């Protein structure tokens, strides 16, 4: 998992092996995608008010009471553009719908990550702001739980 995360830098955010293990421990949703028993992608999501020091996560905690936060989603470079990220997000969307909570995520604005922006917009996320830090800026996204698979309100 750590190696796949490293392949997604800077978009995924740098973590140590110990930190990614801790993220798995505190996550509400942690899903892996496998090919021949090998991990090829994953998503890690947190509920609000979890003991986690991310400034981006804190931004959502300050503004929303209920959500599932996508801390990171990553796919092995050899398996990208095969729909794996979309399948992982479909599981997160299913969780969101079942628990009636929106999904939050951020995408790097500086340095830009246009592929991730397109991916989130394609999955019916809407920008709810920008967050500027010392060395990085991000676009904050939210996806309403009342949307169906086609991004329409139910």
- Mean of pLDDT over the chain: 91
45's CB contacts (< 8 A; 6+ apart) are 27, 28, 29, 30, 68, 69, 70, 71, 92, 95, 103
Structural contact between residues 73 and 42, judged by C-beta atoms closer than 8 angstroms: yes
Please write the tens of the pLDDT for every residue from 39-49: 999 999 999 99
Contacts of range 141-147, beta carbons closer than 8 Å, 24 or more positions apart: 141/104, 141/105, 141/106, 141/107, 142/64, 142/67, 142/102, 142/103, 142/104, 142/105, 143/93, 143/96, 143/102, 143/103, 143/104, 143/105, 144/102, 145/96, 145/97, 145/99, 145/100, 145/101, 145/102, 145/103
pLDDT in tens, 84-106: 999 999 999 999 999 999 999 99
CATH topology of domain 2-102: Aminopeptidase (3.40.630)
- pLDDT tens, residue by residue, 55-65: 999 999 999 99
| Residue 145 CB coordination number (10 Å) | 19
For the segment 1-13, the average pLDDT, to the nearest whole number, is 88
Tokens representing 64 are 């929303």
Q: Quick check: 35 pLDDT over 90? A: yes
């Amino acid at each position: 998992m750590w190696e796949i995360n490293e392949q997604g830098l800077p978009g995924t955010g740098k973590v140590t092996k110990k930190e990614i293990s801790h993220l798995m421990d505190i996550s509400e949703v942690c899903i892996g995608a496998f090919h021949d028993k090998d991990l090829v992608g994953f998503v890690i999501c947190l509920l609000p008010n979890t003991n986690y020091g991310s400034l981006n996560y804190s931004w959502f905690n300050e503004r929303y009471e209920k959500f599932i936060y996508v801390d990171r989603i990553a796919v092995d470079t050899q398996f990208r553009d095969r729909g794996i990220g979309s399948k992982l997000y479909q599981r997160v969307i299913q969780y969101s719908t079942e628990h009636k909570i929106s999904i939050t995520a951020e995408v790097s604005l500086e340095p830009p990550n246009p592929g991730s922006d397109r991916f989130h917009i394609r999955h019916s996320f809407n920008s709810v702001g920008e967050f500027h830090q010392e060395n990085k800026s991000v676009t904050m996204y939210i996806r309403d739980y009342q949307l169906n698979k086609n991004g329409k309100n139910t």
